[in-house]
Structure formats: C-alpha cells, structure tokens
C-alpha cells in the first residue's frame, strides 16, 4: 500500500499477554467506502488522495492491513446494568497506535470487523445504521466541544448481518486517545493479578497522566484525575442534553473521552427521567442519573485498584472512599458553574441555584425543548406563559450584574448550541443512507459542524419532532 502517513507504534502490545489477543480483521467480500472524515485525517497527518475508492474500501474494512500496524483485541470486564461480567472486544480490533506529526498517540480501531476470542458466540460484525449513527454522534460531540472518540470512516462489507432483520454489514474506523476502560482494570482485579495491575496502572499514567508518573503514590492521584475528567465530561453531557444510554463500566474510558455510542440520543423535551435505550427498562441510565452513575463507576475503579491505593487495606479503603465521596461536591460546583454560563450569569448571587432550578422545573412541567429554551431566552423570544414569568425574573438578575448585553450573549452563545443531532433527523439520514442516498447524511453532518452559530440554513435541524419523542427508542446495534 502507498505511504499515506501511517506511523504506528504499538505500545499496548508490550503489556502482559492476558490483556490482549492478536487477531486480524475478517476479510470481506465486496468492500465499499461510504464516508471518510477528511478533516480528521488531516489532523492525524494522513493523506488518502493517492488512493482510489477501491483501495480506500479495502483499507477501511481490513482487507489491506497498514504496514507497521499490529492488530489486537483487548480484554476487559464490565459492570453491565450493575452486574459484573467478563467481556472484551467482541467485534472490535485495534489496528495499532498511530503517532501524529505533533506526537499525539491515537488508537485506530475497527468496529464490526469480525469474530475475536471475546465474541462470546456473536458474529463480530456490525450493521450500517449503528456505524453511521456513531459517526454522526461522535462528530457532533466533537464540534460541540465535548471530549470524545472520533470517527474516521465507514465502509460497507458487501455482506449482510442478521439482527431483528437482515441488514447491510459495515465497519467503522474509530480514533481514540486509548481504549483503556474502567472495565480493563476490573478485568485484572478479578484475576487478582497484582503485578499486571501495577503494569496497567503505570502504562495508563504514562499514556494519559504523565504529570504524576514520578510521584511516590501514583494510584490515589490517578483516581483523582480520572474522577475530575469524568466530572468534566458528564457536566458537558448535561449541558447539551446528551444521554449516553449504556453507562456500563466497560463504556467509561479513563481518558475522559465519550466512547461507545450505541443507544445514545439527545433529549428534546426536558425531563431528567428521559431514557431512549430499548434495554434500559428501569431508567438506570436516564439523563438525570448520569452523574450518580459516573460516581458509581468510579467507585468500581477504586475497588479495582484498591491494592495500589495503600499497602494497608484499611488505609486503602479510606483513601478510595475519600476520593469517591468528593465527586458529589465537585460535580455540583461544576454543574452550577456550567448552568450559570448557559444563563449568562457572570457574577455570583446566593439565589442563583434557586433560579436555575426554577428554569429546569418550568421546562419539565411545560414540556419545553431543552436546547431551544436557552436560545429563546437569549433572543427574547418567549411564547410560553410559564417561561415568560421566569424570563422576567431572569432579566432582573441579568440587569443586576451590570454587564454589557454583548458580554452576556457571548457567554451564552459559547455554551448553548443552536443545533444538536435531533433524533428524527438522525433517523431520517440513516433511513436514506440504507437506500444508498447520502444527501441527508451529509447535510446533517454539515449542519452539525458549527453548532454554536445562528445560520438561516439550520431551521430544519432546530426543531424537535412534530410528535413527542418520548416513544423514541435506540438500540445497541450488536
């Protein structure tokens, strides 16, 4: 294959062998390229201009393996809906770690590339719809300035996969700072393999948190840093109304990236109990539960690295509990700060927390759109009577801080998106893509590229579905 800029350095393969299985992607019959993220490719220092569509299709389905790559599937465990199970990359293969011209390290991973030792009876394949959904959502998250894995390409395989119906098979190429999860640490902890646990911790620190690599007691600081990253991430999810859908510990990356966009969606009408996932029957991962679930997941990370927090088990428990218990106060401070920005509140007032809660209650009681409500406040475009009452109080509070109108609007514009990937527009683009028509998909992606700027061409993408989306369901795609 022509040199297109790949620069692989596969450090994860140097970890103990129980963490990995060397495996090649399954060759596919008739690969076809659907979409390539050229702007991401440029950021990675890759140039595909010398490859024709057939070569691109072979590259992004694994029929041609890049020189220097060392494909592997990762082992990990995970608490799925609270129950611990042994897992692993059942339909994903990390090609290797690509080093960019600016010396940044990224995993290049295929999803849907065939069976691995962790497939547990599954076919290891993926359908076109879920792979395009991840492409759309991950790119939307990136442009919303939320830490996330990215999508480099989607290609079809020319083969069908059997789910509820027969669907076209596809492979997504995902780019991540790494695929080390809370569940990766749980996997080692289950086996009571302290030497491997130490090596995994050291590797994770060197890769993601090198600022603490020379400290004597690294494990507590590692836990604190992962906790801070997750607080930042969840705060951003709550800022834009994103619902992950399956916040299992195997879906929490220690890098702090959003990862594994399966039954995820964006909330239209504000309700903290909103659930879109077809498998979340009891609302464990509802919108409003995401902060507490993040804390629960972090507690599982603390459990996994307990032997490394302190040699004395009782002290280790105290250290872990102190760090995990700090989550609530830290999150509430960041959430409050974020919501103040959404409302253009620059100065501090004791009653701000009451004002914020009043708005959330008003939106919930009146079935108001989460995204558009904040834009309506900014534009003084209030049609709902209940919101008019809040608007009057909010204007008094805004005037009280004695800041310019433009300063307030600038603050609000930076955190309140004009457009999000509305569920019905995502489904519309996926439906058309299955027919071979990519116009809706490309139009949606273009609309999501600059989500904080008002544009006349965004009107179609700003409105919630005509009928309530409470019945809307998303699926894992496995």
DSSP string, 160-221: EEESSSEEEEEEEEEEES---BHHHHHHHHHTT-HHHHHHHHHHHHHHH-GGGTT-S-HHHH
Among 437, 338, 420, residue whose Cα is nearest residue 372: 420
Rounded CA-CA distance 409/375 in Å is: 10
User: Quick one: pLDDT at residue 278?
Assistant: 76
> What size, in residues, is the chain?
478
Short-list 291, 282, 237, CA closest to 264: 237
302 Cβ contact list (under 8 Å, min separation 6): 223, 309, 320, 321, 323, 324
Of the chain, the end-to-end C-alpha distance in Å amounts to 31
Residue 305 per-residue DSSP state:
T
State how far the Cα of 259 lies from the Cα of 250, in Å rounded to an integer.
Answer: 10
pLDDT value at residue 478: 44
Residue ranges of the chain with per-residue pLDDT less than 70: 1-2, 467-478
**Alpha-carbon gap, residue 181 to 315, rounded angstroms:** 25
Task: Say what angle helices 370-378 and 385-400 make with each other, to 10 degrees.
Answer: 50
How far apart are alpha carbons 53 and 208 in whole angstroms?
Answer: 35
**Per-residue pLDDT at 283:** 87
Detail the DSSP E strand segments found in 188-314.
242-243, 265-266
- Contact between 355 and 393 (Cβ < 8 Å): yes
Annotated catalytic residue 250: yes
d(CA 392, CA 318): 48
Out of 89, 107, 236, 250, the active site residue is 250
Q: Tell me how many helices (H) and strands (E) the chain has.
A: 16, 12
Local structure of 71: helix, strand or coil: coil
Output the pLDDT for position 474.
60
Largest CA distance in the chain: 67
pTM (two decimals): 0.95
Residues 6+ away with beta carbon under 8 Å from 27: 62, 63
DSSP state letter for 469: G
Q: Which residues are CB-contacts of 176 (< 8 A; sequence separation ≥ 6)?
A: 106, 107, 109, 149, 150, 253, 255, 257, 259
Domain ranges of the chain: 11-179
Residues 6+ apart with CB under 8 A from 360: 270, 272
């Amino acid at each position: 294959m022509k040199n297109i800029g790949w620069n692989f350095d596969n450090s994860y393969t140097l970890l103990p062998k129980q963490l990995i299985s060397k495996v090649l992607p399954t060759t596919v019959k008739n690969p076809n390229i659907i979409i390539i993220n050229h702007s991401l490719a440029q950021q990675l220092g890759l140039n595909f201009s010398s490859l024709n569509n057939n070569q691109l299709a072979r590259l992004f389905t694994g029929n041609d393996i890049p020189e220097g790559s060392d494909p592997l599937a990762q082992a990990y465990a995970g608490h799925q809906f609270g129950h611990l199970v042994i897992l692993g990359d059942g339909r994903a293969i990390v090609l290797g770690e690509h080093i960019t011209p600016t010396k940044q390290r990224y995993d290049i991973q295929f999803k849907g590339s065939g069976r691995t030792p962790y497939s547990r009876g599954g076919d290891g394949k993926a359908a076109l719809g879920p792979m395009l959904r991840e492409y759309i959502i991950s790119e939307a998250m990136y442009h919303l300035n939320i830490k996330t894995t990215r999508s480099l390409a989607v290609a079809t395989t020319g083969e069908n996969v059997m789910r509820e119906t027969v669907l076209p098979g596809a492979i997504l190429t995902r780019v991540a700072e790494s695929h080390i999860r809370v569940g990766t640490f749980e996997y080692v902890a289950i086996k009571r393999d302290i030497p491997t646990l130490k090596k995994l911790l050291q590797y994770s620190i060197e890769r993601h948190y090198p600022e603490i690599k020379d400290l004597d007691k690294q494990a507590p600081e590692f836990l604190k840093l992962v906790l801070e990253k997750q607080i930042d991430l969840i705060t951003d999810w709550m800022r834009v109304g994103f619902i992950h859908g399956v916040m299992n510990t195997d879906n929490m990356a220690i890098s702090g990236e959003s990862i594994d966009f399966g039954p995820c969606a964006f909330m239209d009408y504000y309700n903290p109990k909103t659930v879109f996932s077809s498998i979340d029957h009891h609302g464990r991962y509802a919108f409003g539960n995401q902060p507490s679930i993040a804390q629960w997941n972090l507690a599982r990370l603390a459990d996994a690295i307990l032997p490394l927090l302190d040699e004395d088990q009782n002290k280790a428990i105290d250290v872990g509990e102190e760090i995990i218990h700090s989550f609530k106060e830290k999150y509430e401070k960041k959430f409050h700060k974020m919501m103040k920005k959404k409302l253009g509140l620059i100065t501090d007032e004791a009653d701000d927390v009451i004002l914020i809660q009043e708005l959330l209650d008003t939106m919930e009681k009146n079935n108001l759109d989460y995204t558009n409500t904040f834009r309506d406040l900014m534009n003084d475009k209030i049609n709902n009577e209940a919101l008019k009452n809040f608007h009057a109080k909010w204007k008094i509070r805004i005037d009280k801080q004695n800041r310019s109108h433009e300063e307030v609007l600038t603050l609000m514009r930076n955190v309140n998106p004009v457009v999000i990937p509305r569920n019905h527009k995502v489904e519309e683009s996926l439906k058309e893509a299955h027919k071979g028509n990519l116009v809706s998909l490309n139009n949606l992606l273009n609309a999501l590229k600059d989500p904080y700027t008002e544009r006349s061409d965004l009107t179609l993408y700003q409105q919630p579905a005509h009928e309530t989306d409470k019945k809307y369901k998303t699926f894992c795609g496995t």
